[in-house]
């Protein structure tokens, strides 16, 4: 009977296109892609061998050795496809470590395939699978075994998918499960259409489903760097934590990314990212860590190294750190990156996905920079990770158990030569973790929404203090209270503040509200309504931390501000050019009829310098650090008494 091969030919054309697309879509790196490419190549090989064997059979070739080779090659390729698919599934789940640690499982997956190979080799001598009778291809009693083993591997793969279904997205899970009915349909077609070669075409349908629904570069690959995307990093690390894989992660954050982006513009920034990614991949190859590289966003790169190669992770981190410290040339620019490189072992150093993301996002803003590789097993990093992991519960505990405390830092009037106000500053002292910096708990509170409860607590504490008899004796004019971005953008903020002031009998001239530069940069209608309503009620505003963000004089003039506070980082940089800028800044602010508070003053020399510059107020450690309410009252009392004596 003449066999038809038109489906095999169609399958080969489809498979070649898919194979080429893997490389044109930059889907050739990584273990998963390697197995998929191997799966496609093996399916092509099985199709080519099938065509070769059928053509020889149809022609009635007398060269039985050649025909035996063709049929044996087809069966070998066909039986290699299902183990490769199983390897692909294992790679998708990233459960290699579990397979390697379970010898029974490894043997169960390996021995059947080796048995089939042995059977095919022995067939050359025993003819137990197929032979040629009078020149006609004839199946023998054991011919069912290769096909049976292939189907068993498919069933094992399906079982593996079901067991680890939580590690797949819904789309991937549907795609993989769809392969089972496809297999059944092909088997039925083989029985019905005995003269048509359908097996290779059936495998090709499965490959197409995988290519279309799983191998999606738009979901996995960053188009500019060629590295894996943030979403791929999240998926892979969630899997690693879920199955407790041991991996090393080299985290790279470019601290001056925002500045470089402003200098370079879009196109050159993309070129910089490509060059940085290329350097990381080069060092990955040099160290032979075989890690998977990811680009997340805003100058953040990651290299994830599996358990078998993590012994070289320290070497790789050192190479990457050295490479990224080299000057980068882009067109006419000679650029120096500020790369923070941190090596973390998971789950030993960081044991859950949320902590990994929280720490990795901005560790370059919280840790000192010395140019060396940071190790996440260090005490400083470990404490930070611990805090980030439990920050939500720490905040809840602080709200419930009075862990938050309002401290006050006095503000000195240069003209009146006395303390006229103070800034209320929130401190968190946890019963387990001790003092926790606002730089750590504030972002967490903003994300969780707890910032509104915290803000209400601060307002209540300050208003109670202002309403107290001891405050009235201090002779202070007002207290400054910080408002976060989230508070400013919250409906009902103005009503809440005014209602609370009314409850405690606090007048509008006793309170000054501080907004940061980052808050001022938002152009939100809710924020504008809140500020306008509070301003109409007689409250005044300060712009805090001027000099750390992107405020300009137009923005300052547009806001209902009474005071601008110069940040200490702006103040401390006292080279001649910066001093000229500072003088002009002060002059422009004064021309807008606003007052100036200089923060971060620590020496008498600095007090004199800014007094001569005609600034209005001084705040800093020269007079006092932020102190609890009782100590603050005692401090102001002592100062007032000393002033009376001197008078």
Give residue 459's pLDDT band: very low, low, confident or very high (50, 70, 90). Answer: very high
Residues 213 and 230 in one domain: no
Residue 388: inside a domain? no
- Cα–Cα distances (Å) from 558 to 152, 210, 528, 543, 588, in that order, read 73, 56, 11, 12, 14
Residue 512: inside a domain? yes
- Is residue 291 within 8 Å of residue 305, measured between CB atoms? yes
Out of 94-103, 252-261, 619-628, least confident range: 94-103
Q: Residue 223 contacts by C-beta under 8 Å, 6 or more apart in sequence?
A: none
Write out the DSSP string of 253-294. EETTHHHHHHHHHHHHHHHHHHHHHHHHHHHHHHHT--PEEE
Residues 226 and 210 in one domain: no
Phi first, then psi: give them for residue 105, nearest 5 degrees. -65, -40
**Three-state DSSP class for 304?**
strand
Residue 385: inside a domain? no
Q: What is the mean pLDDT of residues 247-266?
A: 91
| Res 550: pLDDT | 47
Res 342 pLDDT > 90 = yes
Residues 196 and 237 in one domain: no
Residue 383: inside a domain? no
| Res 272: pLDDT | 92
- How far apart are the two ends of the chain, measured CA to CA in Å? 121
Q: What is the mean pLDDT of residues 15-39?
A: 88
Residue 160: inside a domain? yes
Where does a domain end: 218, 247, 278? 218
Bigger pLDDT: 190 or 52? 52
CATH (domain of 618): 3.20.20.450
Give residue 248's pLDDT band: very low, low, confident or very high (50, 70, 90). Answer: very high
Q: What is the mean pLDDT of residues 456-478?
A: 94
Res 377 pLDDT > 80 = no
- Is residue 520 within 8 Å of residue 541, measured between CB atoms? no
Q: How many Å is the maximal CA-CA distance in the chain?
A: 128
Where does a domain end: 329, 347, 377? 377
Residues 360 and 405 in one domain: no
Residues 110 and 183 in one domain: yes
Residues 170 and 291 in one domain: no
- Cα–Cα distances (Å) from 94 to 6, 29, 360, in that order, read 38, 15, 22
| Res 323: pLDDT | 94
Write out the DSSP string of 5-50. -HHHHHHHHHHHHHHHHHHHTT---SHHHHHHHHHHHHHHHHHHHH
E strand or H helix at 387: helix 379-401
Q: What is the mean pLDDT of residues 427-434?
A: 90
E strand or H helix at 219: helix 217-220
Residue 386: inside a domain? no
Angle between helices 31-59 and 6-24 (to 10 degrees): 160
Phi first, then psi: give them for residue 136, nearest 5 degrees. -105, 130
pTM above 0.75, yes or no: no
Neighbouring-strand partners of residue 565: 597
Out of 509-523, 597-611, 618-632, least confident range: 509-523
Bigger pLDDT: 407 or 585? 407
| Res 15: pLDDT | 94
Residues 194 and 226 in one domain: no
Residue 277: inside a domain? yes
Residues 525 and 623 in one domain: yes
The token pair at 165 is 């279904």
The token pair at 553 is 């004089």
**Cβ neighbours of 616 (radius 10 Å):** 23
pLDDT in tens, 79-103: 999 899 999 999 888 888 778 777 7
Out of 177-181, 308-312, 378-382, least confident range: 378-382
Res 399 pLDDT > 70 = yes
Residues 482 and 494 in one domain: yes
Neighbouring-strand partners of residue 617: 413, 597
| Res 3: pLDDT | 78
Residues 61 and 127 in one domain: yes
| Res 517: pLDDT | 60
Q: Checking phi first, is residue 94 left (phi over 0); if not, alpha (psi -120 to 50) or beta?
A: left
| Res 520: pLDDT | 55
The token pair at 155 is 């069933």
Where does a domain end: 218, 245, 275? 218
Q: What is the mean pLDDT of residues 365-392?
A: 79
Residues 336 and 447 in one domain: no
CATH (domain of 55): 1.20.1070.10
The parent domain of residue 28 ranges over: 6-218
Alpha helices in 224-378 (DSSP H): 230-242, 257-287, 313-324, 353-366
Rounded-to-integer distance, Cα 305 and Cα 313, Å = 7
User: Contacts by 423-428 with C-beta closer than 8 Å and gap 24+?
Assistant: 423/479, 423/480, 423/482, 423/514, 423/619, 423/626, 424/458, 424/461, 424/462, 424/479, 424/480, 424/481, 424/482, 425/482, 425/626, 426/454, 426/458, 426/482, 427/626, 428/394, 428/395, 428/398, 428/403, 428/404
Q: What is the mean pLDDT of residues 308-334?
A: 90
The token pair at 65 is 């050795």
Q: Residue 231 contacts by C-beta under 8 Å, 6 or more apart in sequence?
A: 219, 220
CATH (domain of 314): 3.30.70.270
pLDDT in tens, 519-564: 555 556 777 888 889 999 999 999 887 765 545 566 677 778 899 9
Q: What is the mean pLDDT of residues 452-471?
A: 94
Give residue 189's pLDDT band: very low, low, confident or very high (50, 70, 90). Answer: confident
Average pLDDT over the chain, rounded to whole?
87
Q: How many domains does the chain have?
A: 3
Residues 319 and 404 in one domain: no
């Amino acid at each position: 009977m003449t066999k038809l091969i038109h489906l095999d030919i169609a399958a080969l054309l489809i498979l070649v296109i898919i194979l080429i697309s893997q490389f044109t879509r930059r889907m050739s790196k990584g273990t998963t892609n390697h197995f998929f490419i191997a799966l496609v190549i093996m399916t092509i090989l099985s199709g080519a061998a099938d065509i070769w064997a059928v053509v020889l059979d149809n022609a009635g070739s007398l060269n039985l050795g050649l025909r035996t080779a063709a049929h044996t090659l087809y069966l070998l390729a066909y039986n290699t496809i299902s183990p490769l698919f199983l390897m692909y599934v294992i790679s998708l789940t990233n459960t290699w470590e579990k397979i390697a640690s379970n010898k029974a499982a490894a043997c169960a997956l390996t021995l059947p395939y080796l048995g089939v190979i042995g059977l095919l080799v022995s067939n050359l001598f025993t003819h137990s699978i197929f032979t040629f009778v009078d020149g006609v291809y004839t199946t023998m009693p054991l011919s069912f075994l290769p096909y049976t083993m292939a189907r068993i591997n498919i069933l094992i793969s399906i079982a593996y998918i079901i067991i680890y279904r939580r590690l797949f997205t819904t789309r991937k899970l549907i795609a993989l499960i769809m392969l089972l009915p496809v297999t059944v349909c092909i088997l039925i077609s083989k029985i019905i259409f005995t003269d048509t070669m359908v097996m290779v075409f059936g495998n090709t349908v499965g490959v197409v489903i995988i290519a279309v629904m799983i191998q999606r570069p738009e979901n996995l690959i960053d188009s500019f760097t060629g590295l894996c995307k943030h979403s791929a990093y999240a998926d892979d690390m969630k899997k690693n934590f879920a199955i407790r894989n041991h991996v090393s992660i080299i985290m790279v954050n470019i601290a001056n990314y925002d500045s470089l982006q402003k200098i370079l513009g879009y196109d050159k920034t993309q070129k910089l990212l490509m060059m940085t990614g290329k350097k990381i991949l080069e060092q990955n190859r040099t160290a032979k860590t075989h890690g998977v590289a990811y680009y997340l966003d805003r100058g953040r790169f990651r290299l994830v190294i599996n358990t078998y190669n993590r012994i070289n992770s320290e070497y790789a981190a050192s190479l990457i750190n050295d490479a990224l410290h080299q000057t980068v040339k882009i067109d006419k620019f000679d650029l120096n990156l500020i790369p923070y490189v941190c090596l973390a072992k998971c789950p030993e150093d960081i044991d859950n996905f949320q902590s990994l993301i929280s720490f990795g996002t901005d560790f370059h803003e919280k840790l000192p920079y010395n140019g060396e590789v940071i190790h996440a097993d260090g005490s400083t990093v470990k404490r930070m990770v611990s805090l980030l992991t439990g920050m939500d519960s720490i905040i809840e505990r602080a709200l419930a158990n009075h862990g938050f405390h309002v401290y006050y830092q006095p503000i000195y009037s240069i003209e009146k030569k006395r303390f006229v106000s103070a800034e209320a500053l929130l401190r968190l002292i946890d019963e387990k973790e001790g003092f926790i910096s606002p730089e750590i708990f504030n972002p967490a509170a903003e994300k969780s929404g707890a910032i509104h409860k915290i803000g209400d607590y601060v307002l209540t504490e300050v208003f109670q203090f202002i309403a107290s008899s001891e405050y009235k004796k201090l002779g202070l004019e007002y207290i400054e209270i910080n408002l976060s971005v989230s508070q400013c953008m919250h409906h009902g903020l103005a009503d809440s503040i005014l209602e609370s002031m009314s409850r405690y009998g606090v007048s509008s001239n006793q309170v000054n509200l501080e907004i940061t530069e980052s808050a001022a940069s938002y152009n939100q209608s809710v924020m504008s309504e809140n500020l306008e309503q509070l301003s109409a009620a007689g409250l005044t505003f300060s712009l805090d931390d001027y000099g750390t963000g992107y405020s300009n004089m137009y923005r300052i003039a547009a806001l209902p501000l009474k005071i601008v506070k110069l940040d200490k980082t702006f103040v401390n940089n006292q080279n001649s050019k910066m001093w000229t800028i500072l003088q002009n800044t002060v002059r422009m602010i004064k021309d807008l009829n606003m007052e100036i508070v200089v923060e971060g003053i620590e020496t008498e020399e600095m007090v004199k310098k800014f007094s001569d510059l005609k600034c209005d107020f001084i705040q800093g450690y020269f007079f006092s650090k932020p102190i609890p309410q009782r100590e603050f009252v005692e401090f102001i009392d002592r100062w007032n008494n000393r002033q009376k004596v001197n008078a």
